[in-house]
Amino acid sequence: MSISQPGRRTRFRLILGACLTAALVAAAFLAATTQGATAHGQTPRALFRSPAAVRPIVVLEHGAWADASSWRRVIVRLQRAGYTVYAPPNPLRGLPYDSAYLHAFLTQDAALQGQPVILVGHSYGGAVITDAAVGAPEVKALVYVDAFIPDQGESLEQLDGGSCLGGNPADLFDLVPYAGGPPGDVDTFIKPSVVPGCFATGLPAGQAALVAATQRPLAASTLAEPSGPPAWKHLPSWAVVGTGDRVIPIAQQLFMARRAGAQITEVNAGHLSMISRPQQVTSVIEAAARTTR
């Protein structure tokens, strides 16, 4: 039967009119809601964002003889997963200076204020985040990657027992005086011949050569400087431990991680697991991040 018949035509018009009225009401509601959201600094998308979708910010601190590019593979994975990531430079001028520099970033950068932060440190960067996170309320968790996790009063040289960098400095480092440092202090560059079998074990030869060429030096005086009160005593911690690490041997890493009450993940890697095992390192950071939601 055709809708052109009188009874059907009338019902069709009534139904069409009701649909149009409902559509207009819905549009008006959406417009009003959007205007209200804009007035409060929200975008329409934010109105429908699930609380579970809000992720903490990840701050990555590199270690000695490296720079922020050592985190490149981890950064790419975190960003693909929707995280905002910062990798500020580590000055490598000494533990008090470096931790104060990072602390200022954590507490004074406007982008971090009011946002939960997962703070991650590699190697010497672990000592830096241990001190820098104290008094930084946005930091909600610490992640240590092949890292030093000192207690108060401990120095790096006290914690590096059995390190491949613990021998005669003249055999391991090129020592270069630098301006403005304490009298007699020098910058330490790992000799290129030492990098592949010590600092960059597990990496292809070409990549180890790149690490050697782009390294940033650590001031020698840093090794004897005592750590301050540790943030891991009041923050949850995670630790990635490279089973083939020769810079901070596994036994030393496990001792420090267990003392800090960290959740430990062992990976088949050398000292640079964030380069050789980026997915595993990223997974641990994400595990820490999930506890802040």
* Residues 167-180: tens digit of each pLDDT: 999 999 999 999 98
**The model's pTM:** 0.82
Residue 77, pLDDT > 60, answer yes
pLDDT band (50, 70, 90) for residue 160:
confident
Q: What is the pLDDT of residue 27?
A: 40
Q: What is the pLDDT of residue 281?
A: 98
Residue 224, pLDDT > 90, answer yes
224 or 2, greater pLDDT:
224
Chain CA centroid to CA 246, Å = 23
- Burial annotation 60-85 (CB, 10 A radius, 16+ → b, else e): bbbbbbbebebbebbbebbeeeebeb
* φ, ψ (nearest 5 deg) of residue 51: -55, -30
212 or 291, greater pLDDT:
212
Please give the Cα distance from 249 to 247 (Å, whole number): 6
19 or 256, greater pLDDT:
256
Q: What is the pLDDT of residue 217?
A: 98
Please give the Cα distance from 94 to 75 (Å, whole number): 26
Q: What is the pLDDT of residue 45?
A: 32
Ranges of each domain in the chain: 8-47, 54-290
- Percent over 70 (pLDDT), the chain: 82
User: At a CB cut-off of 8 Å and minimum separation 6, what does 91 contact?
Assistant: 97, 98, 101
Residue 202, pLDDT > 70, answer yes
Residue 181, pLDDT > 90, answer no
Q: What is the pLDDT of residue 23?
A: 39
Which token pair is 181?
A: 């440092």
Q: What is the pLDDT of residue 54?
A: 76
Residue 232, pLDDT > 80, answer yes
Average pLDDT of the residues in 181-188: 93
Residue 33, pLDDT > 90, answer no
Residue 272 near residue 146, CB atoms below 8 Å:
yes
CA distances from 100 to 63, 104, 254 (A): 15, 6, 27
Residue 74, pLDDT > 60, answer yes
Nearest to 262 by CA among 100, 130, 107: 130
Q: What is the pLDDT of residue 39?
A: 36
Place of tokens 């490598």: 92
pLDDT band (50, 70, 90) for residue 136:
very high
Q: Across the chain, what does the average pLDDT equal?
A: 86
Average pLDDT of the residues in 216-232: 97
CATH code of the domain occupying 54-290: 3.40.50.1820
